[in-house]
Amino acid sequence: MAKLTVEDLKDLEGKKVLIRVDFNVPIKDGVIGDDNRMVAALPTIKYITEKGGKAVLFSHLGRVKTEEDKANLSLKPVAEHLADLLNKPVTFVPVTRGAQLEDAIANMNNGDVILVENTRFEDLDGKKESGNDPELGQYWASLGDVFVNDAFGTAHRSHASNVGISEAMKANGKDAVAGYLLEKEIKFLGDAVDNPVRPFVAILGGSKVSSKIGVINHLLEKADKVIVGGGMTYTFYKAKGIAVGSSLVEDDKVELAKELIEKAGDKLVLPVDNVVADKFANDAEYKTVEGAIPDGYMALDVGEKSVELFKETLKDAKTVVWNGPMGVFEMPNFAKGTLALGEFLATLSDATTIVGGGDSVAAAKQLGIADKLSHVSTGGGSSLEYLEGKTLPAIAVLSEK
Ligand SMILES: Nc1ncnc2c1ncn2[C@@H]1O[C@H](COP(=O)(O)OP(=O)(O)O)[C@@H](O)[C@H]1O
Ligand SMILES: O=C(OP(=O)(O)O)[C@H](O)COP(=O)(O)O
């Protein structure tokens, strides 16, 4: 990649290294749920501290709108969990600016790690973080010698703690570089889309066409085949004149679906059968039907023949990008299509298999196949924007090699 990375940083001994991580992880009653994003950021933190750098970590957590939100959105439990993961002390600084933060940094020894409080606490006083207030970016930048961005999950945001710090660092004649996680995400997602080993098959699912239009459009240009499943399918069915019963349909996107079908030609692969239910519940009465969805039924999963068709489409693929479940995978009776597809992907050992998108990553983990895929992205919105071909502002701003 054409951006400077941590490995381009020479002589980190004693340097104050500001690192933006995405530790926006689920927390319930002070306990961290899925810590994948934290684990994924460890190589960068370890590299810097092992070279004698002083690691000053910044992250947001959730969206801070009121004073009351602060009680639930402190990064303190995250600092404790990070100390466990690193197996060394992590100093938590419960403020985002001022003497307490500056003193904590001044008192660091080489190899120490501190985690600064939730950057979005700065949103309470005029959206300084989310609005990329230049004074805030400049202030944070002034605390360090170099800035490392390893927060891929936040790379589609233009905030003070990523874009603002980077701009200020560069204006001060210092560098803003990519961490290992950011580099890895760009390598997998970027190569898949821009330089795929072919055949390249994209699998797009999830609930709505409206949230995936950009991705479908972009991947129709890049991929050899595009499999569409999940709730989006039935807007395409309607566009083709196939009855949809009470399935999820976006009526205002039917015309667009017609255009996409036209554009796609034989690239587009839609389900040929579906599991239909008499209500949106796991205990619904259900059956599998081919083609038209009967009145009074909604399609909640793809059927076995569709799975066979998808496997046939995927069997020789060398690059696969998967975004979005094939059905309502949260309900066990309607998780089978997603499960079968995920298990098949896990067997494609000659292919680069990439999963991106919040729910698809959750599905891959729930199904226990995440370890068997080549790359599980830590970004939901950011991976989607990347797959749409958009420029992610927090990456674009980093120093060039
Ligand atoms: N046939 C369907 N009908 C209704 N909802 C569906 C259907 N198939 C999948 N979904 C829902 O889509 C949601 C995921 O969609 P989305 O957020 O677009 O995916 P992702 O987060 O992977 O990008 C899941 O909650 C799933 O239950
Ligand atoms: O969790 C995140 O987004 P994601 O759920 O789309 O992956 C990122 O941390 C960005 O958070 P934001 O969408 O509140 O800016």
Selection from 307, 308, 272 nearest residue 289 by Cα: 272
For residue 67, what are the domain limits? 6-181
Please give the pLDDT value at position 113: 98
Question: Do residue 161 and residue 302 come from a single domain?
Answer: no
pTM metric for this prediction: 0.92
Please give the pLDDT value at position 1: 59
Please give the pLDDT value at position 368: 86
Question: Do residue 175 and residue 65 come from a single domain?
Answer: yes
pLDDT band at 261 (very low <50, low <70, confident <90, very high): very high
Q: Is 361 part of any domain?
A: yes
Q: Is 393 part of any domain?
A: no
Question: Do residue 287 and residue 352 come from a single domain?
Answer: yes
Residue nearest to atom 10 of ligand 2 (CA): 154
Q: Is 394 part of any domain?
A: no
Q: Is 256 part of any domain?
A: yes
Q: Is 278 part of any domain?
A: yes
Q: Is 215 part of any domain?
A: yes
pLDDT at 275 over 80: yes
Question: Do residue 283 and residue 330 come from a single domain?
Answer: yes
What is the C-alpha R_g of the chain?
23
Question: Do residue 157 and residue 273 come from a single domain?
Answer: no
Q: Is 373 part of any domain?
A: yes
Q: What is the pLDDT of residues 195-226, one digit of tens each?
A: 999 999 999 998 888 888 889 999 999 999 99
Does ligand 2 lie within 6 Å of residue 59's CB atom? Answer: no
**Whether residue 337 lies in the annotated active site:** no
In the chain, the number of structural domains is 2
Q: In the listed set 166, 181, 196, which residue is the last one of a domain according to the structure?
A: 181
Q: Which two tokens stand for residue 257?
A: 């679906």
ipTM more than 0.90? yes
Q: Which one of 69, 78, 154, 376 would you pick to mutate in the ligand 2 pocket, going by the greatest count of ligand atoms within 8 A of its CB?
A: 154
Q: In the listed set 181, 211, 230, which residue is the last one of a domain according to the structure?
A: 181
Q: Which ligand is nearest to the CA of 326?
A: 1
Distance 156 CA to ligand 2 centre (A): 9
Does ligand 1 lie within 6 Å of residue 327's CB atom? Answer: yes
Residue 35 CB neighbours (<10 A): 16
Does ligand 1 lie within 6 Å of residue 164's CB atom? Answer: no
Distance 40 CA to ligand 1 centre (A): 25
Q: What average pLDDT does the chain have?
A: 95
Q: Which is it for the CA torsion 376, 379, 380, 382, positive or negative?
A: negative
Question: Do residue 11 and residue 144 come from a single domain?
Answer: yes
Does ligand 2 lie within 6 Å of residue 357's CB atom? Answer: no
Q: Is 401 part of any domain?
A: no
Q: How far apart are CA 271 and CA 230, in angstroms?
A: 9
Question: Do residue 170 and residue 200 come from a single domain?
Answer: no
Contact 148, 105 (CB under 8 A): no
Does ligand 2 lie within 6 Å of residue 380's CB atom? Answer: yes
Question: Do residue 194 and residue 323 come from a single domain?
Answer: yes
Among the atoms of ligand 1, which is closest to the Cα of residue 325?
9
Contact 257, 231 (CB under 8 A): no
Question: Do residue 172 and residue 214 come from a single domain?
Answer: no
Question: Do residue 147 and residue 74 come from a single domain?
Answer: yes
Question: Which residue is listed with tokens 């709505």?
Answer: 208
Question: Do residue 157 and residue 234 come from a single domain?
Answer: no
Given 52, 111, 381, 389, the catalytic residue: 381
Q: What is the pLDDT of residues 112-164, one digit of tens each?
A: 999 999 999 999 989 999 999 999 999 999 999 999 999 999 999 999 999 99
Q: What is the pLDDT of residues 348-396, one digit of tens each?
A: 999 999 998 767 887 788 788 888 999 999 998 999 999 999 999 999 9
**Whether residue 381 lies in the annotated active site:** yes
- What's the CATH code of the domain at 15? 3.40.50.1260
Question: Do residue 259 and residue 236 come from a single domain?
Answer: yes
Does ligand 1 lie within 6 Å of residue 356's CB atom? Answer: no
Residue 30 CB neighbours (<10 A): 11
